[in-house]
A and B are shown apart, each in its own frame.
Chain A
Amino acid sequence: MTDIGEAFAAAFSLVYHLDRDLGEIVLLSLQVSVGAVAVASVIGLPLGAAVALFRFPGRGAIVVVLNALMGLPPVVVGLVVYLVLSRAGPLGVLGLLFTPTAMVIAQVFLVTPIIAALARQVIEDMWSEYEEQLRSLGATPRRALGALLWDGRVSLLTAVLAGFGRAIAEVGAVMIVGGNIDHVTRVMTTAIALEVSKGDLALALGLGIVLVALSIAVSAAVALLRGTLAQAQAR
């Protein structure tokens, strides 16, 4: 069990010395995951709201598929995105493979279903609560969509945060499409996987501790924001 003690020592030393490589890796992790979550929110929130509000044939099936896609295996998504972005693939000419952009693309596929599925539930609940009121004001589902998204923003933050949690923690997809290239596409999770493969378990665990701390910091920031939002809404 000395590894666990060493891990905390390694984590502490990494942070204390403000390791430059660590800073770079943490920053890239945030850029990739926040970028992916931003794109996924722009797609997923309206998509989830639309599925919640409109009635159309096949809607039940879409809800089931959306919920199921929350469990997409990252390695499979990575492989599919690799095959598409590979020089031998249909979008190979773009030369995006082994770049942070490729990592964002892969994570968008992982995160969008999570945000859309959770947003659908939030919006559907709000709609069933306010439908009569909104309809009496002359609001159709189409006009209510934007309003409900805006009004549900505090709850929807949780959906976005769930998406971020998925993005920052996954390793399978970014490893395949990013290639874990030092100073170019190495992020927290791929760095951890590399240290495991090198057999440096203490450093791997140390990096893991830093990653968890990062997640807690993001989550705390969102909690603070939610408090501020709720206050602003109450006023």
Chain B
Amino acid sequence: MRTLVSGRRGPLARLLAAVALALLLAAPEAGADEFITVASTTSTQNAGLFDHLLPLFEAETGIEVRVVAVGTGQALRLARNGDADLLLVHDRPSEEAFVAEGFGSARFDLMYNDFVLVGPSADPAGIAGLGDAAAALERIARAEAPFLSRGDDSGTHRRERALWQAAGNDPGAASGTWYREAGQGMGATLNTASMMEAYTLADRGTWLSMQGRLDLGVLVEGDAGLRNQYGVTLVSAARHPHIKAEPAQRFAEWLLSPAGQAAIDGFTIGGERPFIPNAHWTRDESPG
């Protein structure tokens, strides 16, 4: 018990002090004074769009943009709780509901791409080349061919459910058999679908960034029901006064302006444009 009374600094105390000092010194610098938090979707992040856009905007304005990429459902919930200053998602009905309920002050079309129905080259349900996505789903259901759903309440998942509804089919009853719910992001779902030789609905951006690694092909595309519109929604400062409304509005305006639209237009993956800008906004109708 001699050490009980020893007042000497042992190696433990010295090491702890050294670690504490090293971590303090290495503490990240405060960063830009001004930053906004954008709640967005995994599809835009996974395609790499923000890595392309944000440096351009930050260089122009000095405003740091922090992106929290989650499913559209969770992104809406974050914004509803006042945990995001701006919303960039792809489920127009719920974006409009968000504004109608007073959580958002305005919503604008930003860009679009489309969803594609992808599947194994064996194509057991025989849907290749169909022009009608709902009819293709109908065939998959009839053939009870494996279909992998996102199952995560994302924008893509919401669209998939809408398509099933249009096909007059409720695959939920078959969940666990030929209809499987991954509960994962788009990339992980595509990987799993590839390994399971299953059909799945994917957004074009993620598909383009991953297609080289997958044993899947695009089987159905071009249906009007597969259009994927992204929107920017301003979070209402009336509901959440702490929202950084002013810089968030600057970012929204930049995205919708010719400069932002050109930046989206200039983003390519392997020579293809995953997102096509289609904002029809002029500075006169200022957002917010």
Q: Which B residues contact A (CB, under 8 angstroms)? A: 1, 3-4, 10-12, 15, 19-20, 23, 26-28, 31, 37, 42, 45-46, 50-51, 66-69, 80-83, 184-188, 190-191, 206, 209-210, 213-214, 240, 242
Contact = CB atoms under 8 A, between A and B. Distances in A.
A97 B27 CA distance: 18
16 contacts: A28-B28, A87-B242, A93-B242, A95-B242, A98-B83, A150-B3, A151-B4, A181-B66, A182-B50, A196-B188, A197-B46, A197-B185, A197-B188, A198-B46, A199-B187, A199-B191
Given A199-B191, A228-B11, 16 more contacts: A28-B28, A34-B19, A89-B81, A93-B242, A98-B68, A150-B3, A198-B46, A199-B188, A199-B190, A199-B210, A200-B187, A225-B12, A229-B10, A229-B12, A232-B11, A233-B3
Contacts of B27: 31
Contacts of A229: 10-12
A92 B1 CA distance: 48
B253 to A, nearest CB: 22
Contacts of B4: 147, 150-151
Chain A interface extent, by class: 35 or more
A201 interface: yes
Nearest to A181: B66
A27 interface: yes
B91 to A, nearest CB: 19
Contacts of A28: 28
Contact of B82 (A31, A92, A150, A183): A92
A93 B242 CA distance: 9
Contacts of A100: 28
Contacts of A179: 37, 66, 68
A157 to B, nearest CB: 8
Interface string A75-104: 000000000001111001101011010000
A179 B79 CA distance: 13
Contacts of B185: 197-198
A197 B42 contact: yes
A54 to B, nearest CB: 20
Contacts of B37: 98, 179, 181
A170 B186 CA distance: 22
A184 interface: yes
A98 B12 contact: no
Nearest to B190: A199
A89 to B, nearest CB: 8
Given A198-B209, A225-B11, A184 B31 contact: yes
B23 A86 contact: no
A74 to B, nearest CB: 17
Contacts of B51: 182
B83 A87 contact: yes
B250 to A, nearest CB: 19
Contact of B83 (A27, A38, A97, A153): A97
A30 B26 CA distance: 10
A97 to B, nearest CB: 6
Contacts of A181: 37, 66-68
Nearest to B209: A198
B34 to A, nearest CB: 14
Contacts of A182: 50-51, 66-67
Contacts of B3: 150-151, 233
Contact of B66 (A98, A197, A200): A98
A149 to B, nearest CB: 11
A201 B81 CA distance: 34
A194 B191 CA distance: 14
A232 B23 contact: no
> When A and B form their complex, which 4 residue pairs have the shortest distance between CB atoms, in order from nearest?
A197-B185, A87-B82, A199-B187, A179-B68
